[in-house]
Amino acid sequence: MTSTITTRGPGVRTDRRRTVRVGPFSGVVRTRQLLLPVVALVVLVLVSAVSLGRGDYPIGLGDVLRTLVGLGDPTQQFIVTELRAPRIVVGVLVGLALGLSGALIQTFARNPLASPDTLGINAGASAAAVGVIVLGGGSGAAAGLLGGLGLPLAALLGGLLVALLIFALAWRGGVDGYRLVLVGVGLSAVGFALVDWLLTRSDITEAAAATVWLTGSLNARTWDQAWPLGLALAVLLPVALALSRQLGVLQFGDDTARALGVRVGATQAVVVLVSVALAAAAVAAAGPVQFVALVVPQVAVRLAGGSRPPLLASALLGAVLVVGADLLARTVLPVALPVGIVTAVVGAPYLLWLLVRGRRSITA
């Protein structure tokens, strides 16, 4: 797929890669790319378990694990599975969806700044949700709507509608990554202008409620939010992973990919649709938890090596970031802040550090 020898920096140093030959087949084993998802999965399980134990009624790690396999006492069973688990599960699913969505869209657009945020999904969902909060009646009604189904559904529809519009507007006998991103930026500007305008028109308490939603939060999430997102992931994750090889070939450019037997137009359409659906489902569940989709693929590609964000590792690292950030927000900080703030405060310096220390620039 990629060349087996790369040169780095001044003075030629070849990258020694292990090759495996089985009969007529041979391939390169990239240890870091194989190890990263495993490590991320282990970390994710640990962080989730710790998070399940923490709260007003602390439960030890061992008890948590025992409860999860159905051996805990009834009180702990209730607290873990009914009160805390939905929040953690929504966090994991949102992280998976956002990380994967970001990796797909960055690979497709070949632009590290492309993410569902720049593609207008967050803008559309935000405009719809803030519209519901601000125009949906007084502050009491808004507070009621926040917990109900009205808001997630509005956000989902808003996000999908804008994404669809972007896709339709960018379509000219095929989708060009460059054109798609530009159209997305244009429509995002409209969405966020509407949000800003609605905020200036609204009552201050509604504006405050809208600000919390706009930050992305896991507060008061139940199984109602987890199921739709889980279903979406169950369908879309395998599709995305199945596309991995074609995505790798697309990196060489449309013409080369076509010559190598990839159906460029169809692949691109599927990639974009999968990415958009994942992001919209995540936003509907937790609000726009910004920065996960942007930063996680970039972190993953730097950790794993290679020329593009690895899909599975990006998804898992996204989940680690969201759940870990939520854990931090609930336990370490004096004020209970929405998870969206912590993902940015934790993720941004990490990206900055990687940039400062960075061994090379990544273009995809």
Partner 1 sequence: MASAVRPAPAELAEQVAAEQRRRGLLRGPATRIGGLWLLLALVVVAAGLSVAVGTRAVDLGTVWHALTDSSATGDDVVVIRELRVPRTVLGILVGLSLGVAGALMQGHTRNPLGDPGLLGVAAGASAAVVGAIFLLGITTPSGYVWFAFLGALLGSVAVFLIGSSGRGGATPVSLALAGAALSALLYALIRTVLITDQQTLDSFRFWVVGSLAGRDSAVAWQVLPFVVVGLVLAMVNAPALNLLGMGEDVARGLGQHVLLARVTGITAITLLTGAATAACGPIGFVGLVVPHIARAITGPDHRWLVPYSGLLGVVLLLVADVVGRVVVRPGELQVGIVLALVGAPFFIALVRRRRLVAL
Token pair belonging to 223: 């199984």
Q: Which of 57, 78, 178, 223 binds partner 1 (CB under 8 A)?
A: 178
Task: Name which of 88, 107, 109 is nearest 99 in CA terms.
Answer: 107
Q: For residues 154 and 132, give the distance between their C-alpha atoms in angstroms, rounded to a whole number.
A: 7
- Residues 94-123, one symbol each (x = binds partner 1 by CB under 8 A, - = not), give -----------------xxx----x-----
Amino acid at 317: L
Contact at 8 Å (CB) between 121 and 181? no
Q: For residues 124 and 154, give the distance between their C-alpha atoms in angstroms, rounded to a whole number.
A: 10
Within a 10 A sphere around the Cβ of 340, how many other Cβ atoms? 26
Residue 84 Cβ, how far from partner 1 at the closest point, in Å?
Answer: 23
Q: Is 211 in the site for partner 1 (CB under 8 A)?
A: yes
Q: Which of 7, 14, 75, 205 binds partner 1 (CB under 8 A)?
A: 205
Q: Is 360 in the site for partner 1 (CB under 8 A)?
A: yes
**Rg of the Cα atoms in the chain:** 21
Of residues 11 and 58, the one with the C-beta less far from partner 1: 11
Phi, psi at 137, each rounded to 5°: 105, -165
Three-state DSSP state, 262:
coil
Q: Is 182 in the site for partner 1 (CB under 8 A)?
A: yes
Within a 10 A sphere around the Cβ of 216, how many other Cβ atoms? 28
Positions 14 through 43 that interact with partner 1 (CB under 8 A): none
Within a 10 A sphere around the Cβ of 362, how many other Cβ atoms? 18
Residue 245 Cβ, how far from partner 1 at the closest point, in Å?
Answer: 26
DSSP H or E stretch at residue 21: strand 18-22
Within a 10 A sphere around the Cβ of 21, how many other Cβ atoms? 8
Of residues 182 and 269, the one with the C-beta less far from partner 1: 182
Q: Which residues pair with 27 in a beta bridge?
A: 20
- Residue 9 makes CB contacts below 8 A (sequence gap 6+) with 360
Q: Is 192 in the site for partner 1 (CB under 8 A)?
A: yes
Residue 228 Cβ, how far from partner 1 at the closest point, in Å?
Answer: 26
Residue 299 Cβ, how far from partner 1 at the closest point, in Å?
Answer: 11
Q: Is 153 in the site for partner 1 (CB under 8 A)?
A: no
Q: Which of 62, 186, 238, 253 binds partner 1 (CB under 8 A)?
A: 186
Positions 280 through 299 that interact with partner 1 (CB under 8 A): 290-291, 294-295, 298
Of residues 39 and 212, the one with the C-beta less far from partner 1: 212
Residue 293 Cβ, how far from partner 1 at the closest point, in Å?
Answer: 11
Q: What is the DSSP letter of 80?
A: I
- Count the site residues for partner 1 by CB under 8 A: 60
Token pair belonging to 287: 């609000």
Residue 231 Cβ, how far from partner 1 at the closest point, in Å?
Answer: 30
Q: Which of 204, 255, 261, 332 binds partner 1 (CB under 8 A)?
A: 204
Contact at 8 Å (CB) between 193 and 164? no
Q: How many Cα atoms sit within 13 Å of 17 on the Cβ side?
A: 21
Contact at 8 Å (CB) between 102 and 113? no
Residue 59 Cβ, how far from partner 1 at the closest point, in Å?
Answer: 29
Q: Is 12 in the site for partner 1 (CB under 8 A)?
A: no
Q: Which of 28, 41, 157, 169 binds partner 1 (CB under 8 A)?
A: 169
Q: Is 9 in the site for partner 1 (CB under 8 A)?
A: yes
Residues that bind partner 1 (CB under 8 A): 9, 111-113, 118, 169-170, 172, 178-179, 181-183, 185-187, 189-190, 192-194, 196-197, 199-200, 204-205, 207-208, 211-212, 214-215, 290-291, 294-295, 298, 335, 337-338, 340-342, 344-345, 347-349, 351-352, 355-363
